[in-house]
């Protein structure tokens, strides 16, 4: 199981700009649910609160109103039931790929041979078994993010939270990682909530797309593409892809829904 | 434009395989620099009245005399004891103190100001007071070295902690690492380059502190050799301990750099260059 629910989640914070205090409503009564095994994309213009929503779900930021629940249990701070994939992977530079994956597992209390074997298993899952002893600076951007995904998956969370995980990668690497993510999802069945600013990515990967604007959920859109989607090149050519992409684009740009 | 012309020329005659020129190793440059420096010093130093200055060959002779008589080694030993103890204590206390001040907001607000002030403290002026407290012997020398070396180490560690990227700490948090684990496994390694830089900066200050202590408390060690030979207008002998101290500082610096590359190899690798 792994169902994430946002219930009236609000987040307000103050900024001091040139001596004046500005109140920013980063999230304004956000409501949506990510069902078990589903992939949901959070999309919207920068500053719309999508990353804040993800951070609140992770427990890195506290909401000022409402609550987030995972399988009905309210989120208070970070927990092993959620695994976070950071925008720039954020591997610890002094640890090897293997040790980075082990770090998360150790925090969960795992040790001994089980620790090594589990870390190895997840590195193999992301295709990095051969590179397990390399340190982050010896890995390419795509490999780093694979390790980041392995690190989050290894602790076997109920939900994978991803903050623009492929945003910093070049186009080709991004495409192969998108395909790999779908493959991982097909194999592990994890619930995934991911933030992106890339329309194509949202439509290619997600089952549903939550469009945010100024801290509010503007619209939740279904993606009428069946799973599995083994060949994203084929998906790109489907009329449903183009249609959905256009609908999301319109929704983001003028707030109007196209029917 | 020039590039275009060149490439068209290159098109007619096949370009020669570019030979990779290996740059001179650093140590060669350093040795050459020292050789030039010593030669110049020798040439111009000889023209000066030996009371007002000296030159390498005279200093080498003085070194030999001091070394053979054994005076040099006992002075060195006498100097090194308080140096090693004071400097070691400064590392042992400065690093945890810096981690503590940088790691906790309250500690920073409460203690940071003393550390910043302590760094600028005119220690020479305080030596008489330290003598009143600790006497004229070994303890006061250790204290002077300790106080001079403590603050650069502490401040650098503190700044290093503050500079740790927030996202790396969030990695720890997101995996539910307790604060102490985050401090030990994320903040400490991320701060290591800063700590090592502080320890390096402290070498110079500790050497100066050692000589100050020997001048102003019981005159002893290398400081005594300096004072006695200066009083006898034996400038060449006076230079021997001065040069030994400088060489010692260079050696320590190199040693610390070596330790840094051993304990934090990722740093040099990330920076993409080899140092020393």
Which residue, of A108, A129, A156, is where some domain finishes?
Answer: A156
> What would the mean pLDDT of A75-90 be, rounded to a whole number?
94
Task: List the one residue out of B104, B142, B254, B263 whose CA is nearest residue B195.
Answer: B263
Tell me the nearest-neighbour CA distance from A227 into chain B, angstroms: 30
Same domain, A13 and A62: yes
Q: CB–CB of B20/B201 below 8 Å?
A: no
The answer to whether B269 contacts A135, with C-beta atoms less than 8 Å apart, is yes
Position A108 in a domain: yes
CATH of the domain at A54: 3.40.50.300
Q: Which of B167, B175, B181 sits opposite A104 (nearest CB)?
A: B175
Q: Which of residues 186-225 of B touch A (CB under 8 A)?
A: 186, 189-190
d(CA A177, CA B130): 65
Q: What is the pLDDT along chain B (276 residues), one digit of tens a residue?
A: 444 544 444 445 566 666 677 788 888 999 999 999 999 999 988 888 877 888 899 899 989 988 899 888 998 998 999 999 999 999 999 999 999 999 888 999 999 999 999 888 888 888 888 889 998 888 999 999 999 999 999 999 999 999 999 999 999 999 999 988 999 999 999 999 899 999 999 999 999 999 888 888 888 888 888 888 888 888 888 999 999 999 988 999 899 988 888 888 777 766 665 444
The answer to whether A135 contacts B173, with C-beta atoms less than 8 Å apart, is no
Same domain, A239 and A112: no
Q: Which of A59, A92, A151 to mutate to test the interface with B (most CBs of B within 10 A)?
A: A92
Of residues A39 and B50, which shows the higher confidence score?
Answer: A39
The answer to whether B167 contacts A86, with C-beta atoms less than 8 Å apart, is yes
The helix (run of H) or strand (run of E) holding residue A14 is strand A4-17
Domains detected in chain B: 54-271 (1.10.3720.10)
Position A42 in a domain: yes
Which residue, of A122, A138, A156, is where some domain finishes?
Answer: A156
Same domain, A73 and A180: yes
Tell me the nearest-neighbour CA distance from A95 into chain B, angstroms: 9
Q: Does A78 touch chain B (CB under 8 A)?
A: yes
Q: Which domain holds residue A139?
A: 92-156
Same domain, A164 and A136: no
Q: Does B262 touch chain A (CB under 8 A)?
A: no
Give the number of domains in chain A: 2
The answer to whether A104 contacts B168, with C-beta atoms less than 8 Å apart, is no
The helix (run of H) or strand (run of E) holding residue A160 is strand A159-163
Q: Which of A77, A82, A94 sits opposite B189 (nearest CB)?
A: A94
Helices (H), chain B: 2-12, 26-45, 56-69, 71-103, 105-119, 123-134, 138-162, 166-174, 179-182, 188-216, 221-231, 235-263, 265-271
Same domain, A216 and A229: yes
pLDDT band of A168, cuts 50, 70, 90: confident
The answer to whether B175 contacts A107, with C-beta atoms less than 8 Å apart, is yes
d(CA B231, CA A37): 87
Cis previous bond, A228, omega within 30:
yes
d(CA A57, CA A195): 12
The answer to whether B189 contacts A92, with C-beta atoms less than 8 Å apart, is yes
CA distances from A57 to A233, A240, B66, B161 (A): 32, 31, 73, 27
Same domain, A148 and A189: no
pLDDT band of A254, cuts 50, 70, 90: confident
Q: Which of B168, B173, B264 sits opposite A92 (nearest CB)?
A: B168
Is 0.85 exceeded by the ipTM? yes
Q: CB–CB of A225/A218 below 8 Å?
A: no
Which residue, of A156, A183, A198, is where some domain finishes?
Answer: A156
Q: Which two tokens stand for residue A52?
A: 């804040």
Whether the predicted pLDDT of A38 surpasses 60: yes
Q: Does A108 touch chain B (CB under 8 A)?
A: yes
Give the model's pLDDT for residue B15: 61
């Amino acid at each position: 199981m792994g169902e994430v629910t946002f219930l009236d989640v609000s987040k307000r914070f103050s900024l001091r700009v040139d001596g004046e205090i500005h109140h920013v409503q980063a999230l304004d009564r956000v409501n949506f649910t990510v069902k078990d095994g589903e992939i949901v994309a959070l999309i919207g213009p920068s500053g719309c609160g999508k990353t804040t929503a993800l951070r609140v779900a992770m427990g890195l930021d506290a909401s000022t109103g409402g609550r987030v629940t995972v399988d009905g249990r309210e989120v208070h701070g970070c927990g092993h039931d959620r695994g976070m994939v950071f925008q720039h992977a954020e591997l610890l530079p002094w640890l090897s790929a293997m040790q980075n994956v082990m770090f998360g597992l150790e925090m969960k209390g795992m040790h001994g041979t089980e620790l090594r074997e589990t870390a190895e298993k997840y590195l193999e899952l992301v295709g990095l078994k051969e590179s397990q002893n390399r340190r982050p600076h010896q890995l390419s951007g795509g490999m780093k993010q694979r390790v980041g995904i392995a690190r989050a998956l290894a602790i076997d969370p109920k939900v994978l939270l991803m903050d623009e995980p492929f945003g910093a990668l070049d186009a080709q690497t991004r495409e192969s990682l998108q395909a790999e993510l779908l493959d991982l999802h097909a194999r592990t069945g994890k619930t995934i909530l991911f933030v992106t600013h890339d329309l194509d990515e949202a439509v290619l990967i997600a089952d549903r797309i939550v469009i945010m604007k100024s801290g509010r959920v503007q619209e939740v859109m279904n993606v009428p593409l069946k799973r599995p989607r083994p060949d994203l090149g084929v998906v790109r050519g489907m009329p449903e892809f183009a249609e959905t992409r256009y609908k999301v684009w319109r929704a983001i740009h003028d707030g109007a829904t196209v029917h | 434009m020039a590039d275009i012309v060149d490439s068209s020329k290159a098109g007619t005659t096949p370009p020669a395989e570019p030979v990779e020129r290996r740059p001179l190793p650093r140590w060669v440059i350093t040795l050459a620099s020292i050789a030039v420096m010593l030669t110049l010093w020798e040439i111009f130093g000889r023209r000066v009245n030996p009371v007002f200055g000296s030159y390498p060959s005279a200093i080498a002779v003085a070194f030999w005399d001091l070394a053979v008589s054994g005076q040099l080694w006992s002075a060195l030993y006498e100097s090194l004891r308080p140096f090693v103890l004071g400097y070691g204590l400064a590392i042992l206390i400065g690093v945890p103190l810096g981690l503590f001040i940088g790691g906790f907001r309250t500690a920073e607000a409460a203690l940071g100001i003393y550390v910043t002030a302590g760094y600028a403290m005119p220690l020479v002026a305080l030596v008489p007071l330290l003598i009143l407290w600790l006497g004229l012997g070994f303890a006061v020398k250790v204290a002077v070295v300790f106080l001079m070396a403590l603050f650069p180490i502490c401040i650098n560690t503190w700044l290093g902690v503050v500079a740790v990227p927030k996202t790396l700490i969030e990695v720890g948090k997101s995996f539910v690492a307790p604060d102490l684990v985050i401090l030990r496994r994320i903040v400490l390694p991320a701060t290591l380059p800063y700590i090592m830089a502080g320890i390096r900066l402290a070498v110079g200050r500790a050497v100066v502190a050692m000589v100050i202590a020997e001048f102003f408390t019981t005159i002893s060690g290398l400081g005594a050799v300096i004072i006695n030979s200066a009083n006898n207008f034996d400038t060449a002998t006076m230079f021997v301990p001065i040069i030994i101290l400088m060489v010692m500082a260079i050696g320590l610096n190199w040693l610390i750099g070596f330790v840094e590359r051993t304990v934090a190899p990722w740093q040099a690798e990330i920076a993409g260059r080899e140092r020393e």
